[in-house]
Amino acid sequence: MMDSNAKRCLAICPLFEAELLLHLMLSNWQHPFANDEAFRQGLLECATELLLTASHDDCEEVFIEGLKSSEMNFVAAVWYAEWCGAQDDSHERESRNLWLKNVRRSLPSCFCSTDLLGS
Q: For the segment 35-66, what is each residue's pLDDT rounded down to a tens digit?
A: 999 999 999 999 999 999 999 999 999 999 99
Q: How far apart are CA 100 and CA 13, in angstroms?
A: 20
- Note the pLDDT of residue 117: 61
Q: How far apart are CA 107 and CA 42, in angstroms?
A: 22
- pLDDT tens digits, residue range 93-112? 999 999 999 999 999 999 99
Alpha helix locations (H) across 1-119? Answer: 5-10, 16-28, 37-54, 74-88, 93-106
Which candidate, 90, 105, 97, places its Cα nearest to that of 30? 97
Q: Does residue 113 have a pLDDT over 90?
A: no
Instruction: Read off the pTM.
Output: 0.92
Chain mean pLDDT for the chain: 93
For 14-27, what is the mean pLDDT? 97
Q: Is 30 helix (H, G, I), strand (E, B) or coil?
A: coil
pLDDT level of residue 80 (50, 70, 90 thresholds) = very high
Which candidate, 79, 77, 99, places its Cα nearest to that of 33? 99
Q: How far apart are CA 75 and CA 89, in angstroms?
A: 21
- Note the pLDDT of residue 89: 77
- Note the pLDDT of residue 38: 97
The number of C-alpha atoms within 13 Å of 98 and in the hemisphere containing its C-beta is 10
Q: Does residue 115 have a pLDDT over 90?
A: no
For 71-91, what is the mean pLDDT? 93
